[in-house]
Amino acid sequence: MSDASASRDDGSGPATLRIDKWLWHARFFKTRSLAARQVSEGKVRVNSTRISKPARSVGPGDVLTFPQGNAIRVVRILALGIRRGPASEAQALYEDLSPPETQPAQRPLGEGGPRPTKKQRRRLVNSRPDPLD
């Protein structure tokens, strides 16, 4: 019997799960193939150890570090889950330990909202010095 198929004593499901499958269940990746590719490329760490095999078993208490978009995610596994359910169910599988993202500096809202109005844009363009002078 392998680690991934070992059941807990209480019969509530497996004690460990493949990392690619867990990342997919927790909805960090749209497909299991994408999760497996990230692991294969060595972009995922389990408890600070870089791994490269999608079949690596993980369980509750393990800490995962991986890139997602432009951010680095750090999560602690709380549960394994038995299916890829809705987002609310997926969020119960982990605790997010990622540092809060720094928001890029946003300019104040003008009359036209976050984007300048056509009139504001013309005024801005006309007030700039000509770079060819």
Contact in structure between 84 and 96 (CB atoms under 8 Å): no
**In sequence order, what are the beta bridge partners of 63?**
76
**What is the percent of the chain where pLDDT is above 70?**
77
Collect contacts of 96-102 with beta carbons under 8 A, ≥24 apart.
97/63, 98/71, 98/72, 98/73, 98/74, 99/74, 101/71
Q: Where are the domains of the chain?
A: 17-96
The structure tokens listed for 53 are: 């095999």
Mean pLDDT of the chain: 83
pLDDT score of 3: 46
CATH match of 17-96 with 3.10.290.10: yes
pLDDT score of 29: 94
Give the torsion sign (CA, 57, 63, 67, 70): positive
